Amino acid sequence: MLSKEDNERLTRVGEGTPMGNVFRRYWLPVLLSSELAEADGAPVRVRLLGEDLIAFRDTSGAVGLMEAYCAHRRAPLFLGRNEKSGLRCVYHGWKYDRGGKCVEMPTEPCDSTLKTKIALKAYPTWEGGGLVWACLGPSAAPPPDFEFIRAPATHRFVSRTVQDCNYLQALEGGLDSSHATILHNVTIGDMNWLDDFERTTPRLEIYPTDYGFQYSGIRNLKDRYWVRLYQYVMPAMQLRGRIVPVRGEKAPPRIPLISGHIWVPIDDVTVSVINFSYSADPKIPLDMDFALDSEADYGRGSEDMLPDFRLKKNLSNDFLIDRELQKTGTFSGIRGINTQDVAVQEGMGPIVDRSKEHLGSTDRAIIVLRRLLLEAYRTVEAGGTPKGVDPSSYRNVRAVDHYADTESAIPQLIERERKARF
């Protein structure tokens, strides 16, 4: 449960709001680089932290990100011509470089100095990991340095989805590992749907770190231990390990894969989710067919998406819940793991009222998350730097999904496997 005041503090992201100020201290992934495929190509609308912006790749290949409306009489720059090293408004031809500076004003006399006084609000951008990042703060932090950014393109897959709900309920859904065996259960059959393996309650431990926290789930499988270590990196990123079969192999050997999400608030009631995965072994490139198949399994393959990155199965059609399937096949009756998550998160309403919740013992990660975000707001308010802004705090960590033969081998295994290798 959360007070109404804290719920407001945690969920509002516009300029001048507590969490808006926190998010403005970090680099946030705004677009897939592929959305701005070519120099001088079509500009793309961006809405970020409640601000309407326009992004364009200029002649040099660098990305500009600035106010969406022209400084003259506010025509939409989305209609603009992406010309040599700048974006020109189609209404009266004022042209802006990627820093937002007005560089041409064809409607003014040649000797006019008006253009030297005109600039649109523009934000610094940075590209890495197949993503365009931006920092909306008063001063830009050092660029992000996650392991998936350093991994070569051959080892990495990145996608994006958009959800119609506040960022926090989506982020909380990601950190809430206890729902996996219920919401995502597929073997309902005889109603004995929690088999022995899943019935083994994981031992959950949370450790605070300089970038957020890490939490482990350790299951005793009798003949060995299944060790999972997740990472939460502030303000809104999660890393998970995943052991996957090498394509074509039915049984081990298996290769480790690391996946994750970054939840980026578009505004108070919309969130853009960056989904990424990468091979944890520098010697083995990611199997891109496997990555695409996984996206489809999750329910966010190209067939499942609308052009605006929303799902075709959505709130307006009740995510095509199949009540017959729910009786006899899967627990939720909704197809696709990601679709199931979105159904629950969007179904809560645009901004869930957390003063009405009743949290249980499996909600510890969510409680710590909220505490850290509130702490970050107080730090920023006092003029300090919140956790996770400094890339050196997280650059060497990764998530873990491994088996240990004995309990005593677990600490060593975690120590060894949580270190980045790219």
| Least spacing, CB of residue 180 vs Fe ion, in Å | 6
CB 45 within 8 A of CB 78: yes
| Least spacing, CB of residue 313 vs ligand FES, in Å | 40
CA angle 154, 237, 162 (to 5 degrees): 80
CA angle 227, 229, 32 (to 5 degrees): 135
Phi/psi-derived region of residue 389, left when phi > 0, alpha when psi is between -120 and 50, beta in every other case: alpha
- State yes or no: residue 73 binds ligand FES (CB under 6 A): yes
Q: Which of Fe ion, ligand FES, none does residue 78 bind (CB under 5 to 8 Å by kind)?
A: none
Three-state secondary structure call for residue 189: coil
Q: Which of ligand FES, Fe ion, none does residue 127 bind (CB under 5 to 8 Å by kind)?
A: none
Three-state secondary structure call for residue 140: coil
Q: Which of ligand FES, Fe ion, none does residue 341 bind (CB under 5 to 8 Å by kind)?
A: Fe ion
Q: Which of Fe ion, ligand FES, none does residue 309 bind (CB under 5 to 8 Å by kind)?
A: none
The helix or strand, by DSSP H or E, that contains position 324, with its residue range, turns out to be: helix 323-328
Of positions 47, 78, 91, 115, contacts ligand FES by CB under 6 A: 91
The helix or strand, by DSSP H or E, that contains position 23, with its residue range, turns out to be: helix 18-23
- State yes or no: residue 341 binds Fe ion (CB under 5 A): yes
Q: Which of ligand FES, Fe ion, none does residue 70 bind (CB under 5 to 8 Å by kind)?
A: ligand FES
Q: Using CA of residue 345, residue 347, residue 348, residue 350, what is the dihedral sign?
A: positive
Provide the H-helix boundaries in 119-241.
147-150, 167-175, 180-183, 196-199
Which strands sit side by side in the sheet containing 95-96, from one edge to the other? 81-83, 86-88, 95-96, 102-104
- With CB under 6 A as the rule, give the number of residues binding ligand FES: 9
The site map against ligand FES for 94-113 (x = CB under 6 A) is: x-------------------
Nearer to ligand FES, 118 or 204 (CB): 118
| Least spacing, CB of residue 112 vs ligand FES, in Å | 14
Residues 69-98 that bind Fe ion (CB under 5 A): none
Q: Which of ligand FES, Fe ion, none does residue 75 bind (CB under 5 to 8 Å by kind)?
A: ligand FES
Distance of alpha carbon 320 from alpha carbon 316, whole angstroms: 9
Nearer to ligand FES, 120 or 165 (CB): 120
| Least spacing, CB of residue 193 vs Fe ion, in Å | 16
Give me the amino acid identity at 78: F
Of positions 22, 36, 44, 70, contacts ligand FES by CB under 6 A: 70
Point out which residues bind ligand FES (CB under 6 A): 70, 72-73, 75, 89, 91-94
Interface residue list for Fe ion (CB under 5 A): 341
